[in-house]
Amino acid sequence: MQGYLHRNIPLSAAMGVQVRVATPEHVLLFAPLAPNINHQQTVFGGSGAAVATLSAWSLLHLRLARAGLEAELVIQRSSMEYERPITGDFEAECRSAGDGDWQRFATLLERRGRARLTLAARLLQDSAPMASFMGDFVALRGK
């Protein structure tokens, strides 16, 4: 998964993103502070949002692959809520949505060629939650 991200989303390589866990149920990405630092010596908000987005996108990408569903996957809308500054290396974690949500998503994608799923992720520093992400992802077939 890390190679895929670095080849297809070059920003992930520039940010130093490393894949720690990559399954259709759980994605955990690591990012170092140095390439993602801001003027306050904390993680730049855009970097945090990008890594959180990558974790959720990766999870959905892996679920689609496991289900044998080919589709273009894009983020439609997202929001971040930062609870406190991230002062060091950090992780982004996304866990799968409920099976009911996934089944509705997969059924819509197969029937209509388009489906939307909302995923949550969180940013962690030393296992402590630092920020939360919500994103609506759209899958499109037939491109």
Tens of pLDDT, residues 66-95: 999 999 999 999 999 999 999 999 999 999
To the nearest 10°, report the CA torsion of 91, 49, 45, 29.
Answer: 20
Q: Is 136 a residue whose pLDDT tops 80? A: yes
Total domains, the chain: 1
Residue 32 belongs to what H/E stretch? none
Tell me, what CATH number does 52's domain have? 3.10.129.10
In this prediction, residue 143 has a pLDDT band, given cuts at 50, 70 and 90, of low
Domain that holds residue 73: 2-140
Mean residue pLDDT of the chain comes to 96
Q: Could you tell me which residues are beta bridge partners of residue 117?
A: 137
What type of residue sits at position 111?
R
Question: Is the distance from CB of 25 to CB of 107 less than 8 angstroms?
Answer: no
Name the DSSP letter for residue 2. Answer: H
Give the pLDDT confidence score for residue 142 in this predicted structure.
74
Q: Could you tell me which residues are beta bridge partners of residue 21?
A: 28
Sheet strands (E) in the chain: 18-22, 26-31, 72-82, 90-95, 114-125, 128-140
* pLDDT single digits (tens) 104-119: 999 999 999 999 999 9
C-alpha 120/C-alpha 44 separation (Å) is 20
Question: Is the distance from CB of 59 to CB of 119 less than 8 angstroms?
Answer: yes
Name the pTM for this structure.
Answer: 0.95
